[in-house]
Each structure stands twice: as C-alpha cells, then as structure tokens.
Structure 1
Amino acid sequence: MHAPTQDPLQRERDHLAASRSALRAMREDVENLDLKDVTGTWVSAAVLQRQIDERIAALADFAHTPLFFGRLDYLHAISEELAEGGTGEQFYIGRRHVHDASGDPMVIDWRAPVSQPFYRATRTDPMDVERRRRFGYTGGELTAYEDEHLTDPAEADSASALLAAEIEKPRVGPMRDIVATIQPEQDEIVRADIGGTVCVQGAPGTGKTAVGLHRVAYLLYAHREKLARTGTLVIGPNSSFLSYIEQVLPALGELDVAQATVQQLVAHVEVRAEEPAEAARLKGDARMAEVLRRAVRAGITLPTEPCVVVRGSRRWRVPAYELVEIIEELSNREIRYGAAREALPQRIAHAVLLKMEQGGEAPDDRVQDAVARNAAVKAMVKECWPPVDPAKLVHRLLGDAEFLAACADGVLDAEEQAAILWAKPGRSVRTAPWTAADAVLVDEATDLVQRTSSLGHVVLDEAQDLSPMQYRAVGRRCSTGSATVLGDLAQGTTPWATASWQEALRHLGKPDSHVEELTKGFRVPEEVIAYASRLLPAIAPGLAPATSIRDLPDSLTVTHIPDDLACAVVEACRKALTHEGSTGLIAADARIPLYAAALAEAGLPHLSPGAETSADARLTLVPASLAKGLEYDYVVLDEPAAVIAGEPDERTGLRRLYVALTRAVSGLHVLHTEPLPDQLQR
C-alpha cells in the first residue's frame, strides 16, 4: 500500500474532486431544464416532470459514499461502444456513470461491460487488464490506494488489504452495498441473463442478499426499458428486514424498485389471528390449489332449459343441449373463471346470431353485443356461471364442512379437513378472523378468477421459509418474467420450510431454474461459522459446511453462567459497545421483555430490529424470530436452550439457533446457564 503523501494519491484525489464537480454539473443541467414550452397534455407534462425529478434524485452525490472505488488500466484500447463513449485505456469504476462537459466518461458504472474485469480478472486470466487499483476511503475522503499488476509475473499473489478493510467495516446503519467487494462467483450471479431464473443456496455470510439486490441493479441497467414497463419487486421475510436493506438500491442510483413481504402481496383480507402450526401447514400445502380450483368451479351448472331471446317481433331459441356444449367447452379449456364468465354471454349471443342468419337476417357485431346484454342471456349466465367473490368463497370453504368435503374429496382426508375447518368448539364461523395462511388461499382463489399481473423480475429472499402455496403466490407475480431466489435450507424455521430447492422451484413455476451454491463466507468469522456448522448434520445434512475468508482469533466466546444470567448478558453488551460498530443482543422471543427491562435499568438504550443505528444508539435487542437476514459487528446470544425451546420441535429450534449464531461480523459471545445442545458440546 502506498503512503498517502505521494503525488499519485493526490492525482487520484484531484480526479475525485473533478468527478464530483462533473456530477454536480450533470445534476444542474437536469434541474435547469425548462418545461414551459413542452407540448402535450398535462398528463404527459406530469409524467415528464416525474422522470426529471427521479433523474435529479439519481444524480445525488452523497458526501460519505465514494464516487469511485477502483480503476482499471487496460493493456490495449477499449472500443468506444464498450467504454460508454470513452477512449483510452484507463477507467475509474464507481456506483454510477459520470461524464464531463464534453461527454467523456470520468467514472464508469460498475454494471457496464468494461467494468466486469474489475470483479473477474485474475493473474491466470487478466482479461487484458494490466493493473487493477483499489481505493481506500475514510469519511468520504480518499486516503489510500492499492495496486495489483495482473500481468507482472514478478508480483506475487497477496490478499487485498483494502478489500479486507472494506468487508470488515463496522455495521452502523442499514445494510450497505457490496459494489466494491463483489467476488467472481458473486459477479457471475449478478450478471446472469434476465431470461432465466437463478436460485442461490447461500450459507450465512456469503452475501446472497446483497448479490440479489445488486442483480436487480444490474438488470435495471442492462434491461432498463423492458423492466420500466414490467416492473421489479424485492420480497423479504418481514418489515424489519426490508427496512434493513432499503438503502442498498438507492445508493446504486435505483429508486423504482418496490419492496414487500409475502403477506403484503396477498393482503386481500385483514389478518387478525394466528392458528396452530399444523393447520397453517395444511393450508400451505400445494394440494390446496386443487381444492380451491374445485371450489371456484363448484357453482357451474348445466342448463336444462333453452335460452329464449326476444328481438322485436321475433324470438330466437338456443336449445339446452347447445348451451351445455358451450359451457362444457369453456370449462374444459381451463381458462380463468372470470374470463370464461365474460366470454359466455358472447358465445350464447353468437349462437343466436347463427340462427338469425339462418332465418334470413344479416346481423353485425353490434347486434351480437346487444344480444349478449339481453336480460335472458344475462340471467342464463348468472344461473349457470355465477360470479365468485374469492374472499367469500374461501370463507365458505373453511366454514362449511360439507362444501369442504365435496371440494377436498380424494385430496385431503377427513382428519386433514377437520384440522383446517374454522368451526371448532368456542369459535363460530361468522366471527372467525382471517389468518396469514387464509390470506394466501384468498390470493390463490383470486388468481383462479382473474389472472394476477406479472412483473419483469422478482427477487425472493429467505425463500426457504415459504410454503408451497406462498411459492405459488410469488410465482404468479413473475409468471411471464424471471426471478432470483435466495435462501439457505439450513435456516428454514417454519413448519412448512422447503426440503429442497427443486421442490420449491417447481411450486414457484420455475422448475428448470439453475441452482448456484455459495459456501465462501465474507461476513462471519471462520471461528464462528465453524462453531455454528456443528449443527448442520442435524438440521441440513445435505449441505456442505461454509468456510470464511476472515480468520479473526478470539472472535468466539462461550461462557457458562451458574446464576444471574441476565446480569452477565447486560455486562457482555456493555463490553461489546466499547468496540466500534453495532451490537445485537439476540434472545428467545419470550425473554425479550426481561432484557428490555434489564437494559433500561442498566442505562443502556436499545433499538428494535430494523431501526437505524447511529453513533449514540448502537445496541439492538433482537427476538430470535426476527434475527434472520440481519447482521451486527458484535452479537451477544442469550441462552441457546431457550431459543430452541421457543420453537415447536427440536429441529426447528436448532435451525433458529443456527441463524442466531451466524449474525456476527466481528465477535460472538454466547452465554448460557442451561446445557448447550449436544452438537455444540463437542
């Protein structure tokens, strides 16, 4: 690493200052656009103004965010097209494109083709790069640089100190982008083609969530016009998780990416209740799709009387057998219930028009539309193909034992039907509140009636916890688009957690998707991940243990506390806060009130998961059920036995513990009074 007083560093600082000035000029050019003489309607003017506002926001310069983080010196000239209009052999790589007044690039977007060697080039395959330079920053100021001469045989391979420093930066505030530290195996996933769905099985600390978010940013860059029409969506496990990741895409200049939980996607009814795990598991079973399909179509009946349409002085009669043929043909086509219902009056009207033509008349399309609106036709449609309200249908299905038995015949046995019925002792059907699993059933029924709109790309994180019916709900949102599926089978903590990615992808509607496995960790220290991996044979025997590039001695402490565990945990938090960065106290959900009171009494302010940490508030009290996906520099883990006991079975409890053990970036302190699980006592 070069000393910060050398002239080359000053030249890089000068380029940074010039780039910031250029970015400011780009923003001012947009701000100064005059829309007074723009022709068109007020709607088009409003749309244009919105686009300008978004462009201004995308050109924001954040003082503490490096404008560029690397430089590539090519051996040979790069084509003008590849270099986004630039000429020459030296390119600065950053979070967004910046050009000077002449249009020549001063910073190249990390997603541009010319930037790819920054992540992929090696000594064995330098990709025509002579030198790769990384920059170090402190508080937004460029303080150091580090060079790799990829074509110099005399220079030995060595680990990048700046890369390691960037990875190990303290975690204060929401999740950061990893644009400066993307590794080759991660970059391959980020830049995978939009045409296919990618599934990433990632061990803790391998950066799978960040990879998924950067993939969205890359796809928006490479396919902006297409995705601007079809839209993108990031789906996370809970609101705390979404709050934690929400700043990553804006930091990369992408502002139009929606975020939601699965529950928010299916919010057709108000969820106000919980139910036994077995009932929720059954409602999430893929077999419920067939039960609902039968329920939606249960009201279809075949007519026994003709349909008689009066037009002026003439009467036109469509016999019952023709009506039966029309209804059976529509039913056998398996098109959406609502679409078939809309087509039925037109089909009946067409049959009437044929009879009119046979009678010597010459009706046109306007006559057919009028016949389709005829009272007799409308009455026939209402009787034979009645309208369906999805919520009312599911309410009837779960509240009417006879209706459920008819729809579930041969699909669910009597015991399973009884488990999902609302009508139980002390609970009337009329007042039964909706549960989360019920809402997913309503979403399925809604799609059976009317097709759900599809997006261009969906990122599904923590996917291992979804039920088959939830996968179907997500799959409907990308039925004509692609998806990035992220998760870790070892972290599945729901009773319906998926057993394999092949099964999950089949329910998602993407059975031919490619599965990538990330096992090299960049976040969790080796000592910590090795300790947590002792649980893998019990919770996910088919997965390979993760490794870590970060070897931090003494990053793991396990302490047995004979008595007054709460006091020892609070003191461990106080000690962790003497280090720079964030601290998370993870405890079983039932023990959270205990520690909320203990921390308050000790004068240690704490935050809730998802709240943004700051210099004055760096301690977060985390229920074990919400720890998934979060990370802290230092983690204090209270009583593993209580974490396990808080789950319905031991395997799920061990998986929950595995999640809690793998949230630390720099240090993990486990404190316990009760015995540790056998796997951790080896």
Structure 2
Amino acid sequence: MTQLAAPPIHHPDFEAEAAHLSGTVSAMLQQIDAWEDRSRTNGADLETSLVMQDTAEEHAATLSPHVHKPYFGALMVRIAGKTQPLYVGNHAFKDLKGPHSVLSWESEVGGLFYAQTLPWQTPRGLSGTVLRRRQLDVQDKTLHGVTDLYDAETGETGGREAVLLKRLSEAATAGMRNVVETLQPEQNEILRASAGVHLCIQGPAGSGKTTMLYHRLAWLLHPERREHRARPEACMVLMPNQVLARYSARILPSLHLEGVTVTTPEAWATSFLGLEKLEIVDRTLTLLLTDASKARRKAAWRKARALGDLSMLRVVRQYLHQRIRANIASLKYLADVSLPGGSKATLTLDTPALQALVETVLARDPLEGLRIAVRHQIEEALLAQVRLDEDELATVRRQLRADITQLTGKVVTGLLPVLSARQLLSDEATLRRAATGILPERTLQVLLSDPLAAVARPRRSYADVTELPVMLAMAALLDGLGRRVGRELELYDHLALDEAQDYSPLLYALLIRATRKGHITALGDKNQGIHGYKGVADFGEMQAALGSARLMTLSRTYRSTRQITELSSKVAQTYNRTGAVVGVDRDGEAVLRLTGDTVAALCAQAVKAMQQAGHVNIAVVTRRVSDAEQLAADLQCHDVDAQAIVNEQARYQGQVVVMPVNLAKGLEFDGCIVAGADAAHYDPAVEYEARLLYVSTSRGMHALAVVAEEELHPLLS
C-alpha cells in the first residue's frame, strides 16, 4: 500500500495558484458580463440579433454556476518541447485574452488528470508528457489547499489517497454526489472505455458502480465522442427500484445530464406497454422473503428463471409466427385503383402470394416489428403491379393506404402484447405448440407449475414483474422497441443498467433491440444478487445475452470503513469464494453488536449512539416489509422519530429511516443498523439469506450496528 504523505501545511506554490485562481474568476466574470450585455451582440437583422443574444445569455447561465469553483485540478505537461500548465474543472472555459482557460474533465486531455500513464498523444498527433498532477481545493472562489498527486522529480506522492480519504470521511447526503474531483484511476479507465461496445462492469458494494454509470453518460455527452456522442433526452438509466432511482437522479444537474430518463425496468416496460394503471407486483420476491419452505422457494425461483430465459424469445417468436400463418390461411386481396390519365388497374394478392410475402418478413425478424414490415412488403408488392414514376405512384399509394392498413390488421389480428403473453403462459396447449422444438419437457413443466399459489394476489388488475419481459417481447416483435418520439419509435442513444445481475437474459435481448449497437453499459455485483430469480447466473451469461461485450472490474470498495468492509466481506465469502472485498484503509468505529433486549429498544440505542457520534443519515434495515412497518412505530416509543420506507412510492429525504433490505439496496448512509441480525431472520443454511445479509451490512459508510434479541447470526458474532 502506498505510504500516505500528509500534505504540507503551506505549499510553496500556494500564492501562485491563488493568484491564478483569482485571474480565472475575473476572466469568467468578464466573459459572463460580455454575454449578458445585449448591446454587444448584434446580427445582420433584428431576428438574427435576438437569436444571438439569447444564445449568449444561455452561455452565461451555463458558466455562472462554475465561477465559485472554476477547477479542481492542475496538470503540468510538456508538448513539442514546451512546458505549460493545464487546469481541469467541471465545465470548459476558453479565455480568449489570457492564460486562464479550463478543460472539462470529460475531455480526452482532461482525463490525464486521473490516469496513471504519463506519455500521451494530442488530437493533432503531437507527443506529450505529464510532469505533474495537482489537486486544488477551491471553494467559493477561494483556494484552501494544494496537494501534489504526482511530480516527475519525486513520483507518486500518496496525495491522491489522502484526498480520497478526506472526501470519504464526509457525511452521507440524501442524494447521490458526483465524484469528478476524486475519480480513481480504475474508475477513470472504466468510464472512458471505448464507446460503441457494450460494457459490463462488476464490482463490490461501495465501489462506485452507480456513480460511474452517471459519469460515463456525462463522458458520452461530450462532443469529442463524435459519432458515439449521446443526447441526454435519448439516454435512459434503469435502476432496481424507484427509491434508488429518485435518490440517484439528484446527481443529474451536477453532471449536466438534465433530460436523461431515470426509472426502473418495470416502470419503463409498463409505460411502453400502456399498463400504467395496473398494479405491478413481485410475488416471487414476496414468497422468498416470507415463506420458510425451501421447496416452494426453489420452485418459485426456477419458474421465474425459466420465464426470463433467452429461449423464451424464440418461443414468443414461434407463437407469433403460428398465429400469423393461421390468420392468412385463406386471406387474399383485390382492389381497383385509378391511374393517372383516367385508366384503372386491378391490384391483387392471392393467398399463396400473400403467404410468400409474409414468410419473407418472418424469416428476417425485422427490428421495426412484424406489423410495419408486413405493411411495407404488401405496399411494395401491390405498387410493383403498375409501372409508374414516383409522383404517379404517390397518387396510387394514397388510394391504397386505408386498404393496406386494413389488410395488415387482418394479418396480425388478435395479437395484443399483454393478452397474447398471458394466453401463451396460461394455456397449456398454446404453450406446448409455441415451444415445440425449443423447450424440453422439464422446462415446460416448470412453466406450467404454480409455486406462487399461496401468495396473495392483488384485488385489482395487476402484472407480475416476471411476466413483463414476455409481454415486452410480444410488443418488440410485433411493433418494435425503443424510445417513443411522438408516434414514432427511435433507438436510444445509450442505455445504462444498474444492478445488472438482476436483469434476465430475455430482457437483455430486448434492450439490445431498443438501443444503438454497442451502447449498453451494465453494472452489477453477483454478491448482491437478491433478485437472482429474474437475473443472470453470472457475468458470462450477461456477456452472452448482450452478444458481444467488454467485461471490466472495479476491485476496491470506497464506501465503508475498514471495520465495516471486513465484516461484509466475511459474509460474502460464505457463498462466493472470490468474494473478498478490498477497501480503502480508512479506520472507523468498531462494529456495534447489541443483544439482550427487544429489537426496538436495541435499535433505538444504536440510533442514539450514532447520532451522538455526529451521524445524521441513519438507516435501520429489516428483513421484511412488515418488520419495517412495525419497527418504525415501535421506535417512537423509544423517543426515535424514523421515516418508514416500505414501498417504492416513498421518497428518501435523509435523517433516520426504517426500510426492508430489498429497498435499501444501492443506497448508502452515515450509519446502518441491521435489525434482527440473527439466524431466525437470516437462515445460515440458505445462500439467498447470506446475500440479503451482505446487502444489509454493506450500507453504512462510517458506522454499523448489528442487533438481535438473543444470539447474533454466526457470521456476525
């Protein structure tokens, strides 16, 4: 481990750096004043002048928030025999009159601040060398500190680790923060991985995976990405639940990502399918969290996995092909159209011709969907029967429009994504026909079973999360998949998937159809796979589902103190022999172990101890939703006011919260208290229970308490 070097109390270049900062602030303010002075912006006419003035004001509004902190890093580089300083910040600024320009961190040159390499190549082909990397602590236009990270004369100083530890010691917030100033070399390498290739990133809890996801999007929005540049409104981030989606979305403004959609796979699927009024439930998760029967849990897990298997796409495709072939078994078309000059022509498609036409479409599996492709083929076949120029064909095309719409409707009649999916999954004869030659008998038996019979169904109309990918597959094959723009569908510029181990192979295959080639970033941690019943078995299966993807790894966790990391790593290693988690060497409070009283009394004791230590945002994590509801009420009797977060509609706002482990996943807190941390709540003999316990114990940044009325779980004692 690098020996940390304490930064000098007074850096020898402090005054010079302070003077440069003052000059940069002045240059920015002068530029803003110039942009805001409408009298200086005049075009050839009034309309041009107004457009130019509005554009200048937009530039001023964009730069203004960065004046208080123009940059955070400095480089000294040697290019073509000349030595020059470069400054790196959150936003680029070009000083046309002096030496106070700032590079944006997303730029290729800005990336040198984080990299460990020293030689580099300029866009114009010139060779350069980094001579020094320096961190600058700037707040409110004032320089507070200078820390050298690398110097050509002394090498690595250990300053990067010192700056990181200082940042990690800060309190948690109610929203995700950007980490532009303290990106580590391994994180920088991942977020700058070549665009145009699907990227899979694996890393332990607290390694910054979710944060990297947003920073990679910001990098993709930079003009230097050229043909791979993404537009914020055409990007989507999928999170495991709405609580985390809202929490993480608070990072968007600081990374200039306004317009990016942040939602969950289920919310996106139901919106796309027009099912917003249906209640979305996860009855498999309910069973896993509440049913003690290992046989029923295993059966539910197997059925959910079968529904999300990649082979289900072939089953859905074969089902649609069978239905369409049945629809056109005796279908034909004949119509008279008026031609230019007053003559008429009879256009026909007999049944064999229509069948041949449809088979051509079915064979190529069109991304735009069968409906549009069939319509296009019908139109081409009919127009080919008359010899006319393009203008004359437009007249005939208008006459045929209604007829072609009606004929296409007959080809796909009775095929509605939701109803068709439910018919496929509920009718044994239909499923067996569609699965012929695809699924073995044992898989059919799993799909036809009902391991969730004992789980209560909602009283109103609902859709289960395990059904949604099949419904989405129906919609994708019928009408295409992507981003709705008016009445049209466009491919997403980029999709970013958090907790990617919990996405089924079928869902991956569908997301590929919805975005540009090579533009999916998927991040996950198999140790946290508490939704593995609807996910992939491993990252190899994830890569296979994506077709071609680069796999990269984050090796360190930055979230927690050494004491917390050691305990959570001990839990992870019980089911994953390669699960040892490497943390930063940040010392902290000993893990608090409390027993011998009621869970509510012990949790209240832990909350008060953490608050006395200065921690503000504290989570009490329970095994089940019902536990969280009851505990939040019981804590009031112990003079602790806690917000209960028991569903995805709740909004995390900081302070003390009580929530089940499935909703705590992805969040981080100053302190975390694992309530009911015993063998009765987390069965030591079941791997799934160990995964839940790992997620629970890895939420805290600075403090962790494990609480049980009697003996603690064997892994925690």
Do they fold alike, i.e. is TM over 0.5?
Answer: yes
- Measured in 2, the distance between the counterparts of 1:351 and 1:242 equals 51
Aligned-pair Cα RMSD in Å: 4.2
Tell me how far 1:515 sits from its aligned partner: 0.9
List runs of 5+ in structure 1 lacking aligned partners. 80-86
Of 390, 408, 415 in structure 1, the residue corresponding to residue 445 of structure 2 is 415
Aligned position for 1:596? 632
Tell me how far 1:56 sits from its aligned partner: 5.2
Give the residue type in structure 1 aligned to 2:600. Answer: A
1:364-379 pair list within 5 angstroms: 365-366=393-394, 368-369=396-397, 372-373=400-401
- Measured in 2, the distance between the counterparts of 1:305 and 1:166 equals 70
What's the secondary structure of 1:91's corresponding residue? strand
What's the secondary structure of 1:635's corresponding residue? strand
| Cα distance change, pair 214–608 in 1 and its aligned pair in 2 (3 A) | farther
- Measured in 1, the distance between the counterparts of 2:30 and 2:100 equals 13
Aligned position for 1:339? 372
Aligned position for 1:288? 312
Give the residue type in structure 1 aligned to 2:65. Answer: D
- Measured in 2, the distance between the counterparts of 1:315 and 1:162 equals 79
Of 233, 236, 240 in structure 2, the residue corresponding to residue 237 of structure 1 is 240
What's the secondary structure of 1:673's corresponding residue? coil
Aligned position for 1:58? 62
| Cα distance change, pair 105–320 in 1 and its aligned pair in 2 (3 A) | same
- Residue 172 in structure 1 maps to residue 173 in structure 2: yes
CA contact (8 A) 2:206 2:558 kept: yes
Tell me how far 1:120 sits from its aligned partner: 1.9
What's the secondary structure of 1:256's corresponding residue? coil
- Measured in 2, the distance between the counterparts of 1:399 and 1:54 equals 56
Q: Which piece of structure 1 moves more, 487-496 or 207-216?
A: 207-216
| Cα distance change, pair 281–500 in 1 and its aligned pair in 2 (3 A) | closer
Of 562, 568, 572 in structure 2, the residue corresponding to residue 536 of structure 1 is 572
List runs of 5+ in structure 2 lacking aligned partners. 1-5, 121-126, 285-299, 338-342, 483-490
Aligned position for 2:467? 438
Aligned position for 1:195? 196
CA contact (8 A) 2:500 2:524 kept: yes
| Cα distance change, pair 276–235 in 1 and its aligned pair in 2 (3 A) | closer
Aligned position for 2:580? 545
Aligned position for 2:279? 272
Of 460, 463, 474 in structure 1, the residue corresponding to residue 500 of structure 2 is 463
CA contact (8 A) 1:455 1:481 kept: no
- Measured in 2, the distance between the counterparts of 1:644 and 1:564 equals 15
What's the secondary structure of 1:353's corresponding residue? coil
Tell me how far 1:57 sits from its aligned partner: 5.1
Query: TM-score, structure 1 length as denominator?
Result: 0.83
- Measured in 1, the distance between the counterparts of 2:453 and 2:656 equals 45
Tell me how far 1:309 sits from its aligned partner: 3.2
- Measured in 1, the distance between the counterparts of 2:407 and 2:85 equals 74
- Measured in 2, the distance between the counterparts of 1:611 and 1:456 equals 29
- Measured in 1, the distance between the counterparts of 2:150 and 2:359 equals 72
TM-superposition CA deviations, 1:159-192 (whole Å, max 9, x none): 7433321232221331211111111111111211
How many residue pairs get aligned? The number is 655
Tell me how far 1:379 sits from its aligned partner: 6.2
1:15-26 pair list within 5 angstroms: 15-26=20-31
| Cα distance change, pair 39–191 in 1 and its aligned pair in 2 (3 A) | farther
Tell me how far 1:463 sits from its aligned partner: 0.8
| Cα distance change, pair 551–366 in 1 and its aligned pair in 2 (3 A) | closer
- Measured in 2, the distance between the counterparts of 1:313 and 1:96 equals 66
TM-superposition CA deviations, 1:489-518 (whole Å, max 9, x none): 1100012332111212322xx332111122
Query: TM-score, structure 2 length as denominator?
Result: 0.79
- Residue 324 in structure 1 maps to residue 358 in structure 2: no
CA contact (8 A) 2:589 2:702 kept: no
| Cα distance change, pair 214–131 in 1 and its aligned pair in 2 (3 A) | same
Tell me how far 1:488 sits from its aligned partner: 0.3
| Cα distance change, pair 380–99 in 1 and its aligned pair in 2 (3 A) | closer
- Residue 181 in structure 1 maps to residue 207 in structure 2: no
| Cα distance change, pair 653–387 in 1 and its aligned pair in 2 (3 A) | same
- Measured in 2, the distance between the counterparts of 1:184 and 1:228 equals 26
- Residue 606 in structure 1 maps to residue 642 in structure 2: yes
Tell me how far 1:110 sits from its aligned partner: 1.7
| Cα distance change, pair 399–159 in 1 and its aligned pair in 2 (3 A) | closer
Tell me how far 1:661 sits from its aligned partner: 0.9
Give the residue type in structure 1 aligned to 2:664. Answer: A
CA contact (8 A) 2:204 2:581 kept: yes
Q: Which piece of structure 1 moves more, 107-116 or 260-269?
A: 107-116
- Measured in 2, the distance between the counterparts of 1:363 and 1:219 equals 43
| Cα distance change, pair 394–373 in 1 and its aligned pair in 2 (3 A) | same
| Cα distance change, pair 248–299 in 1 and its aligned pair in 2 (3 A) | same
CA contact (8 A) 1:644 1:654 kept: no
Aligned position for 1:574? 608
| Cα distance change, pair 579–135 in 1 and its aligned pair in 2 (3 A) | farther
Aligned position for 2:110? 115
Tell me how far 1:367 sits from its aligned partner: 6.5
What's the secondary structure of 2:230's corresponding residue? helix
CA contact (8 A) 2:528 2:694 kept: yes
